[in-house]
Amino acid sequence: MTTEDIRSDDFAVKDTWRIFRIMAEFVEGFETLSQVPRAVTIFGSARSQAGDPEYQFAYKLSKAIARAGYAVITGGGPGIMAAANKGARDGGGESVGVAIELPEEKPNPYMTRMLSFRYFFVRKVMFVKYSQAFVILPGGFGTLDELFESVTLVQTRKVRPFPVILAGDDGFWDGLLDWLRNTLVARGKISPGDVDILKRANTPDEVLAILDSARR
Protein backbone atom coordinates (compact mmCIF):
# COMPACT_ATOMS: atom_id res chain seq x y z
CA MET A 1 0.00 0.00 0.00
CA THR A 2 1.39 3.36 -0.98
CA THR A 3 1.38 6.58 1.03
CA GLU A 4 -1.27 7.89 -1.34
CA ASP A 5 -3.49 4.86 -0.61
CA ILE A 6 -3.18 5.42 3.15
CA ARG A 7 -4.09 9.06 2.78
CA SER A 8 -7.04 8.16 0.56
CA ASP A 9 -8.34 5.62 3.11
CA ASP A 10 -7.87 8.14 5.91
CA PHE A 11 -9.99 10.71 4.10
CA ALA A 12 -12.64 8.08 3.36
CA VAL A 13 -12.90 7.21 7.05
CA LYS A 14 -13.09 10.85 8.08
CA ASP A 15 -15.76 11.59 5.48
CA THR A 16 -17.80 8.60 6.66
CA TRP A 17 -17.74 9.75 10.27
CA ARG A 18 -18.49 13.31 9.19
CA ILE A 19 -21.89 12.04 8.02
CA PHE A 20 -22.83 11.30 11.62
CA ARG A 21 -21.92 14.84 12.69
CA ILE A 22 -24.10 16.19 9.89
CA MET A 23 -26.97 13.90 10.87
CA ALA A 24 -26.67 14.98 14.50
CA GLU A 25 -26.90 18.65 13.51
CA PHE A 26 -30.03 17.99 11.46
CA VAL A 27 -31.67 16.03 14.29
CA GLU A 28 -30.88 18.67 16.92
CA GLY A 29 -32.07 21.44 14.62
CA PHE A 30 -35.35 19.72 13.76
CA GLU A 31 -36.08 18.81 17.39
CA THR A 32 -35.38 22.31 18.69
CA LEU A 33 -36.90 24.49 15.99
CA SER A 34 -40.05 22.40 15.59
CA GLN A 35 -41.03 23.78 19.01
CA VAL A 36 -40.74 27.40 17.83
CA PRO A 37 -43.98 29.16 16.78
CA ARG A 38 -44.34 30.74 13.33
CA ALA A 39 -41.17 32.68 12.74
CA VAL A 40 -39.55 35.34 10.61
CA THR A 41 -35.83 35.20 9.86
CA ILE A 42 -33.89 38.46 9.81
CA PHE A 43 -30.54 38.57 7.99
CA GLY A 44 -27.99 41.37 8.03
CA SER A 45 -24.42 42.41 8.64
CA ALA A 46 -22.44 41.20 11.65
CA ARG A 47 -20.36 44.40 11.34
CA SER A 48 -23.11 46.90 12.08
CA GLN A 49 -22.66 48.91 15.27
CA ALA A 50 -25.26 49.95 17.83
CA GLY A 51 -25.29 53.54 16.54
CA ASP A 52 -25.83 52.59 12.89
CA PRO A 53 -29.26 53.29 11.33
CA GLU A 54 -29.67 49.69 10.15
CA TYR A 55 -28.96 48.44 13.71
CA GLN A 56 -31.73 50.64 15.08
CA PHE A 57 -34.03 49.60 12.23
CA ALA A 58 -33.42 45.90 13.00
CA TYR A 59 -34.20 46.44 16.67
CA LYS A 60 -37.48 48.30 16.03
CA LEU A 61 -38.50 45.86 13.31
CA SER A 62 -37.93 42.70 15.33
CA LYS A 63 -39.65 44.19 18.37
CA ALA A 64 -42.71 44.93 16.21
CA ILE A 65 -42.57 41.45 14.65
CA ALA A 66 -42.45 39.84 18.10
CA ARG A 67 -45.42 41.90 19.28
CA ALA A 68 -47.31 40.75 16.17
CA GLY A 69 -46.95 37.17 17.40
CA TYR A 70 -43.98 35.91 15.42
CA ALA A 71 -40.77 34.38 16.69
CA VAL A 72 -37.61 35.99 15.30
CA ILE A 73 -34.74 33.87 14.00
CA THR A 74 -31.28 35.24 13.23
CA GLY A 75 -27.80 33.90 12.66
CA GLY A 76 -27.13 34.47 16.36
CA GLY A 77 -24.07 36.67 15.90
CA PRO A 78 -23.28 40.35 16.49
CA GLY A 79 -24.39 43.42 14.55
CA ILE A 80 -27.84 43.34 12.99
CA MET A 81 -28.33 39.82 14.32
CA ALA A 82 -27.82 41.06 17.87
CA ALA A 83 -30.15 44.00 17.28
CA ALA A 84 -32.87 41.69 15.97
CA ASN A 85 -32.52 39.22 18.81
CA LYS A 86 -32.59 42.04 21.35
CA GLY A 87 -35.68 43.57 19.76
CA ALA A 88 -37.50 40.24 19.73
CA ARG A 89 -36.65 39.57 23.36
CA ASP A 90 -37.69 43.07 24.43
CA GLY A 91 -40.91 42.66 22.45
CA GLY A 92 -41.78 39.61 24.53
CA GLY A 93 -41.27 37.11 21.73
CA GLU A 94 -39.14 34.07 21.08
CA SER A 95 -35.63 35.19 20.12
CA VAL A 96 -33.85 32.38 18.31
CA GLY A 97 -30.24 32.19 17.16
CA VAL A 98 -29.08 29.69 14.54
CA ALA A 99 -25.37 30.31 14.86
CA ILE A 100 -22.40 29.12 12.81
CA GLU A 101 -19.08 28.18 14.36
CA LEU A 102 -16.65 30.88 13.24
CA PRO A 103 -13.54 31.99 15.17
CA GLU A 104 -14.24 35.70 14.63
CA GLU A 105 -17.98 35.63 15.35
CA LYS A 106 -19.32 35.15 18.88
CA PRO A 107 -22.97 34.55 19.82
CA ASN A 108 -24.90 37.56 21.08
CA PRO A 109 -26.48 37.52 24.58
CA TYR A 110 -30.07 38.30 23.55
CA MET A 111 -31.36 34.87 22.55
CA THR A 112 -34.00 32.86 24.34
CA ARG A 113 -33.03 29.79 22.33
CA MET A 114 -29.81 29.03 20.46
CA LEU A 115 -28.39 26.36 18.19
CA SER A 116 -24.82 26.19 16.92
CA PHE A 117 -23.85 24.56 13.63
CA ARG A 118 -20.56 23.59 12.05
CA TYR A 119 -21.93 23.27 8.52
CA PHE A 120 -23.40 26.19 6.61
CA PHE A 121 -25.68 24.02 4.48
CA VAL A 122 -27.34 22.43 7.53
CA ARG A 123 -27.89 25.88 9.00
CA LYS A 124 -29.48 27.10 5.77
CA VAL A 125 -31.99 24.25 5.84
CA MET A 126 -33.08 25.37 9.31
CA PHE A 127 -33.67 28.94 8.17
CA VAL A 128 -35.82 27.87 5.24
CA LYS A 129 -37.74 25.08 6.94
CA TYR A 130 -38.84 27.06 9.97
CA SER A 131 -39.42 30.58 8.60
CA GLN A 132 -42.60 32.17 7.29
CA ALA A 133 -40.56 34.94 5.64
CA PHE A 134 -37.03 36.29 5.21
CA VAL A 135 -36.30 39.94 5.94
CA ILE A 136 -32.97 41.05 4.49
CA LEU A 137 -31.21 44.08 5.96
CA PRO A 138 -27.94 45.59 4.68
CA GLY A 139 -25.05 43.16 4.82
CA GLY A 140 -22.09 41.65 3.02
CA PHE A 141 -21.31 38.38 1.25
CA GLY A 142 -23.06 36.19 3.84
CA THR A 143 -26.24 38.24 3.70
CA LEU A 144 -26.24 38.26 -0.10
CA ASP A 145 -25.65 34.51 -0.15
CA GLU A 146 -28.72 33.99 2.03
CA LEU A 147 -30.71 36.41 -0.12
CA PHE A 148 -29.99 34.72 -3.44
CA GLU A 149 -30.29 31.23 -1.97
CA SER A 150 -33.84 32.03 -0.86
CA VAL A 151 -34.79 33.67 -4.17
CA THR A 152 -33.44 30.66 -6.09
CA LEU A 153 -35.50 28.23 -4.00
CA VAL A 154 -38.67 30.22 -4.63
CA GLN A 155 -37.85 30.76 -8.33
CA THR A 156 -37.27 27.04 -8.93
CA ARG A 157 -40.29 26.06 -6.79
CA LYS A 158 -38.20 23.92 -4.49
CA VAL A 159 -40.04 25.51 -1.57
CA ARG A 160 -43.50 26.93 -1.10
CA PRO A 161 -43.35 30.63 -2.02
CA PHE A 162 -42.70 32.90 0.96
CA PRO A 163 -41.91 36.62 1.26
CA VAL A 164 -38.32 37.69 0.70
CA ILE A 165 -38.25 41.30 1.86
CA LEU A 166 -35.48 43.81 1.24
CA ALA A 167 -35.84 46.19 4.17
CA GLY A 168 -34.38 49.57 5.06
CA ASP A 169 -34.81 53.12 3.86
CA ASP A 170 -31.28 54.29 3.03
CA GLY A 171 -31.16 53.27 -0.64
CA PHE A 172 -28.89 50.29 0.07
CA TRP A 173 -30.90 47.99 -2.22
CA ASP A 174 -31.54 50.42 -5.08
CA GLY A 175 -28.41 49.58 -7.07
CA LEU A 176 -29.00 45.84 -6.76
CA LEU A 177 -32.59 46.10 -7.97
CA ASP A 178 -31.55 48.32 -10.87
CA TRP A 179 -28.91 45.78 -11.88
CA LEU A 180 -31.39 42.91 -11.71
CA ARG A 181 -33.87 44.75 -13.94
CA ASN A 182 -31.52 46.55 -16.32
CA THR A 183 -28.90 43.84 -16.74
CA LEU A 184 -30.17 40.39 -15.82
CA VAL A 185 -33.71 40.84 -17.15
CA ALA A 186 -32.55 42.90 -20.14
CA ARG A 187 -30.08 40.18 -21.15
CA GLY A 188 -32.55 37.37 -20.61
CA LYS A 189 -30.76 35.82 -17.65
CA ILE A 190 -33.88 35.96 -15.48
CA SER A 191 -37.55 36.63 -16.19
CA PRO A 192 -39.20 39.94 -15.28
CA GLY A 193 -41.40 38.11 -12.80
CA ASP A 194 -38.35 36.76 -10.97
CA VAL A 195 -37.55 40.24 -9.69
CA ASP A 196 -41.05 40.40 -8.21
CA ILE A 197 -40.08 37.65 -5.76
CA LEU A 198 -38.24 40.41 -3.90
CA LYS A 199 -40.45 42.77 -1.92
CA ARG A 200 -39.32 46.22 -0.75
CA ALA A 201 -40.16 47.70 2.64
CA ASN A 202 -38.90 51.05 3.90
CA THR A 203 -40.41 50.84 7.37
CA PRO A 204 -41.24 48.18 9.97
CA ASP A 205 -44.94 48.81 9.32
CA GLU A 206 -44.46 47.98 5.62
CA VAL A 207 -42.73 44.74 6.58
CA LEU A 208 -45.63 43.82 8.85
CA ALA A 209 -48.11 44.60 6.08
CA ILE A 210 -46.31 42.19 3.73
CA LEU A 211 -46.25 39.50 6.43
CA ASP A 212 -49.95 40.01 7.12
CA SER A 213 -50.82 39.80 3.44
CA ALA A 214 -48.80 36.60 2.98
CA ARG A 215 -50.40 35.07 6.07
CA ARG A 216 -53.91 35.72 4.76
Q: Over the stretch 61-83, which tens digit does the pLDDT of each residue have?
A: 999 999 999 999 999 999 999 99
- To 10 degrees, the CA torsion angle through 134, 140, 142, 146? 30
Domain annotation for the chain: domains and CATH numbers: 3-215 (3.40.50.450)
Q: Over the stretch 106-148, which tens digit does the pLDDT of each residue have?
A: 899 999 999 999 999 999 999 999 999 999 999 999 999 999 9
Torsional sign, CA 181, 54, 151, 37: negative
Beta-carbon contacts of 22 under 8 Å, excluding residues fewer than 6 positions away, are 119, 122
Torsional sign, CA 160, 129, 17, 99: positive
Q: Over the stretch 23-40, which tens digit does the pLDDT of each residue have?
A: 999 999 999 999 998 999
